[in-house]
Amino acid sequence: MKIAIIAHDGKKAEMVQFLQENKSILNSKNIELVATGTTGTKVEKAGLKVKKFLSGPYGGDAQIAALVAEGEIAMVFFFRDPLEKHPHEPDISMLMRLCDVHDIPLATNPATAELLMKGLQ
């Protein structure tokens, strides 16, 4: 099972903390993490294995959206910062729309991600 992880700059620390807190579930279910570039780098530094794509503004969101459309992704954890403006907003909207189109669970905050993680247990 592949889970995509993405976090805006102001939410990267929350993402890393969330993944560390749920490391045992991720390891026990043999989950493969894929991430946009900068988020992936932060997650790697925290000791987790992750496949990295481009940084979000450089096409990473679109790369993950393509995986969603191809049926490669089981769920997406995208910790968004709703108070900041993002130059790659069209890619973000496309990813979220494709999750809806393909019925892929999408958590945009830690509380929702925690519920999805509990569902994996």
List pLDDT tens digits, range 67-107. Answer: 999 999 999 999 998 877 777 778 889 999 999 999 999 99
Q: How far apart are CA 7 and CA 38, in angstroms?
A: 9
61 flagged as catalytic: yes
- Residue 49 token pair: 């294995």
pLDDT given for residue 40 in this prediction: 97
For 80, list phi and psi in degrees, rounded to 5: -90, 150
pLDDT given for residue 55 in this prediction: 93
Domains of the chain: 2-120 (3.40.50.1380)
Catalytic residue among 61, 91, 100, 103: 61
Q: Do 43 and 4 contact (CB within 8 A), yes or no? A: no
pLDDT in tens, 15-44: 999 999 999 999 888 899 999 999 999 999
Q: How far apart are CA 25 and CA 9, in angstroms?
A: 25
pLDDT given for residue 48 in this prediction: 93
Q: How far apart are CA 81 and CA 21, in angstroms?
A: 21
Q: How far apart are CA 7 and CA 55, in angstroms?
A: 10
pLDDT given for residue 87 in this prediction: 72
pLDDT in tens, 49-68: 999 999 988 999 999 999 99
